[in-house]
């Protein structure tokens, strides 16, 4: 915050006078007494160090700060060492500090050097390292529990402060594809409860990228309507995606989700084979096919087999033969459904058909389990416990996923 780090160190002597009545010698009682002492010591200590550094700075020819109005960094006069008070939240508690006002001899501008010395943003009451910690806790558990936990360890903060910290922390987090990781990923959506909208009214969409060392990282996050544009999910990544010869995207959506990226990047679509039998159960239900009836079993068992891909088959001829056989069987299933009048199932399978075998055809790693599915469980554990505003749900999820998958920490 404009303070020169070359500033000389100072030594301060700190003594304090404090009297407190303690009724017994149990650790609990001693700690309660200490918790009364803490705010006083903390405030006095910070104040003393601040004045010490303030004086040391004012004693230098070139000050470690400058006037915001005229840029002068040499000539200033002290107004007082005990200026207007200001509140700042530390990891222990709120402290009330007397600010240090100085006046610029160049232009007469008066300002406080308190936050410049503390290296926290002007006007801000909660420093970044503090709101990021609260933001992380608030994203990992409910606001009520977050408050309970931080209070247990001596922080006196309310739920609103934790909520605000989540919003602020989330604003600093952005996701995009990493050019150093694999050109492969998954996209999926999950329904979330939004205030004023019926259950499953909105969909939270996640785009994950595979990491070369195994596992996934988050490359995109968005909340929108069902079947609405997925463009926003890839928005930040367009430039990086252009750098890949091709990017294999596994998803249970159809290729329309990539409408917005057409012509810009080379993305190969692979239907998530893991999702297909799940989705099939839903469309069969829509078609009125009785669960576990012989018709139901016929379709499901065939789809299970078609969607089961053996990894590590590396003979091109075998792969071609396998795909040919799977396609034939899929056509049979579609024909069967057509005859039975299962219109939803037919529509679904016809729509999925073109993108079902892209990955094995191109001899890219075949896979049978969804990695994004795990990510979705991480999302749901936090968002399913409440009704949200769109921004509220997005922000909490951002921090949570950044922490679990992208190395964010506070
Ligand atoms: Zn000035």
Q: pLDDT tens digits for 137-155?
A: 999 999 999 999 998 887 8
pTM of the model: 0.76
Would you state the structure tokens that stand for residue 281, as one six-digit string?
């159960």
- Please list the residues that pair with 187 across neighbouring strands: 207, 251
Whole-number pLDDT of residue 38: 85
Report whether 170 contacts 394 (CB < 8 A).
Answer: yes
Taking the centre of ligand 1 as the mean of its atom positions, its distance from the CA of residue 65, in whole angstroms, is 11
Taking the centre of ligand 1 as the mean of its atom positions, its distance from the CA of residue 233, in whole angstroms, is 46
Taking the centre of ligand 1 as the mean of its atom positions, its distance from the CA of residue 112, in whole angstroms, is 13
Taking the centre of ligand 1 as the mean of its atom positions, its distance from the CA of residue 57, in whole angstroms, is 17
Would you state the structure tokens that stand for residue 171, as one six-digit string?
């604003």
What are 338-373's pLDDT values in tens digits?
999 999 999 999 988 988 888 777 766 555 567 888
- Please list the residues that pair with 190 across neighbouring strands: 204
Q: Which long-range contacts (CB under 8 A, 24 or more apart) does 351-355 make?
A: 351/254, 352/254, 352/271, 352/276, 354/255, 355/254, 355/255, 355/269, 355/270, 355/271
Mean per-residue pLDDT, 8-25: 87
Taking the centre of ligand 1 as the mean of its atom positions, its distance from the CA of residue 82, in whole angstroms, is 21
Asked if the model's pLDDT at residue 133 lies above 60, the reply is yes
What are 74-129's pLDDT values in tens digits?
999 999 988 999 999 998 888 999 999 999 999 999 999 999 999 998 889 999 99
What is the side-by-side order of every strand in the sheet holding 216-224?
Answer: 216-224, 202-210, 184-192, 247-251, 267-271
How much is the mean pLDDT over the chain?
88
State the helix-helix crossing angle for 159-171 and 128-140, rounded to 10 degrees.
100
Whole-number pLDDT of residue 1: 44
CA distance 182 to 105: 58
């Amino acid at each position: 915050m404009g303070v020169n780090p070359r500033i000389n160190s100072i030594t301060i002597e700190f003594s304090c006078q404090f009297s407190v009545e303690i009724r017994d010698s149990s650790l609990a009682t001693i700690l309660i007494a200490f918790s009364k002492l803490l705010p006083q010591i903390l405030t006095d200590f910070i104040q003393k160090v601040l004045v010490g550094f303030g004086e040391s700075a004012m004693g230098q020819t070139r000050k470690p700060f400058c006037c915001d109005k005229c840029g002068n960094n040499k000539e200033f006069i002290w107004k007082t060492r005990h200026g207007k008070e200001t509140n700042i939240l530390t990891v222990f508690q709120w402290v009330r500090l007397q600010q240090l006002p100085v006046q610029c001899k160049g232009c007469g501008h008066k300002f406080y050097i308190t936050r410049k010395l503390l290296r926290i943003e002007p006007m801000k009451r909660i420093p970044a390292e503090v709101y990021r910690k609260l933001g992380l806790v608030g994203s990992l558990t409910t606001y009520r529990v977050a408050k309970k936990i931080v209070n247990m360890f001596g922080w006196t903060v309310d739920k609103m402060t934790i909520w605000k910290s989540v919003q602020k922390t989330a604003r600093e987090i952005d996701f995009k594809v990493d050019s150093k990781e694999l050109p492969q990923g998954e996209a999926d959506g999950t329904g979330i409860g939004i205030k004023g909208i019926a259950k499953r009214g909105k969909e939270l969409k996640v785009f994950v990228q595979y990491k070369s060392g195994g596992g996934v990282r988050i490359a995109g996050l968005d909340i929108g309507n069902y079947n609405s544009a997925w463009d926003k999910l890839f928005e930040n990544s367009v430039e990086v995606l252009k750098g890949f010869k091709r990017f294999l995207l596994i998803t249970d959506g159809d290729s329309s989700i990539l409408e917005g990226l057409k012509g810009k990047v080379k993305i190969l679509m692979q239907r998530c084979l893991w999702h297909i039998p799940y989705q099939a159960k839903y469309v069969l239900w829509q078609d009125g096919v009785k669960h576990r009836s012989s018709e139901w079993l016929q379709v499901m068992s065939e789809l299970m087999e078609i969607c089961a891909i053996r990894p590590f088959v590396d003979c091109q001829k075998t792969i071609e033969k396998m795909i040919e056989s799977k396609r034939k069987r899929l056509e049979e299933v579609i024909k069967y459904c057509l005859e039975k009048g299962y219109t939803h199932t037919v529509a679904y399978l016809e729509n999925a058909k073109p993108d079902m075998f892209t990955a094995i055809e191109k001899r890219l790693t075949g896979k049978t389990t969804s990695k994004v599915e795990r990510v979705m469980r991480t999302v749901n554990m936090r968002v399913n416990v409440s009704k949200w505003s769109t921004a509220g749900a997005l922000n909490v999820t951002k921090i949570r996923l950044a922490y679990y998958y992208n190395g964010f920490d506070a």
